[in-house]
Amino acid sequence: MALRRFDLEAGGDSFAFKSETEEKIAFWRGKYPADKQRSAVIPLLWLAQKDNNGWLSEPAMREVANRLEMPYIRVYEVATFYTMFRLQPVGKFHVQLCGTTPCQLRGAERLKEVCKKEIGKPMFVTDDQRLSWEEVECLGACVNAPMVQINDDFFEDLTPESLSAILGRLRHGADVTPGPQIDRVNSAPEGGTTVLTDASLFDGSRTRVSALPNLPKPPEPTPEATGLPEADAPTNTKREEPTSKEIKS
């Protein structure tokens, strides 16, 4: 693992959670007993990162430690271990580019070249403060490789052209659409579904009422129920055998 240091200079001297974050802090702290509050350190660091423009300054980590009554070093250990916590400033839109094998085999190297060309070196923040990027390990969307995560959204099935267009739109404040950037729905096959395409599989028309073999048989319908004269009504009574006397006559 790379050595990760705080950017002490950029962090300033103070940090305060936003007032609207207090409710979320209370939610996470409420999950743990009073003597186990430090278990909330990761969610609180995550909220602090969100309130600090996408990275954790040293005062932000101290604030988390104070809230949870933890030694500062314990919070620093967590923040420096997990790469989801960033220890230096990032752009308004921070690109995490997956460079792990499936994405690499599907063109992540070419996406990296786009980031270098359009943003600069990893963790460099553009002059307009809008973009920065870094390479990360698998983000769990390998089936849609290659992909990047920008802030909280995944952008998948990328090409150098589509990534370049997304970065251009973000730079100019235009909307972007997360998800696959080709003709596919989520992780379904490119170009549309190729199996289970028969609509009758899903409209209920194949549903049959089935009977369990060991259930008692339902009673035969009575003449009143069928509306037929008694002679015509179905019956399951056994036909009476003629007696010997009747045969004779």
Site residues, ligand FES (CB under 6 A): 98, 100, 102-103, 138-142, 145, 147
114 or 145, CB closer to ligand FES?
145
88 or 100, CB closer to ligand FES?
100
Q: Which residues contact 33 (CB under 8 A, 6 or more apart)?
A: none
3-state helix, strand, coil in the chain (%, to 5): 35, 10, 55
Q: Are 119 and 155 in contact (CB under 8 A)?
A: no
**Strand, coil or helix: what is 75?**
helix
Shortest distance (Å) from residue 108 CB to ligand FES: 7
Shortest distance (Å) from residue 171 CB to ligand FES: 24
153 or 230, CB closer to ligand FES?
153
Angle, helix 41-51 to helix 72-81, in steps of 10 degrees: 70
61 or 98, CB closer to ligand FES?
98
> Tokens in use for 122?
């990893």
Shortest distance (Å) from residue 96 CB to ligand FES: 10
Shortest distance (Å) from residue 51 CB to ligand FES: 28
> Tokens in use for 157?
């099935």
41 or 114, CB closer to ligand FES?
114
89 or 146, CB closer to ligand FES?
146
Distance of CA 166 to the CA centre of its chain: 21
Could you identify the residue written with the tokens 């009504």? 233
Shortest distance (Å) from residue 31 CB to ligand FES: 29
Shortest distance (Å) from residue 180 CB to ligand FES: 13
Could you identify the residue written with the tokens 């995490």? 96
Q: Are 147 and 98 in contact (CB under 8 A)?
A: yes
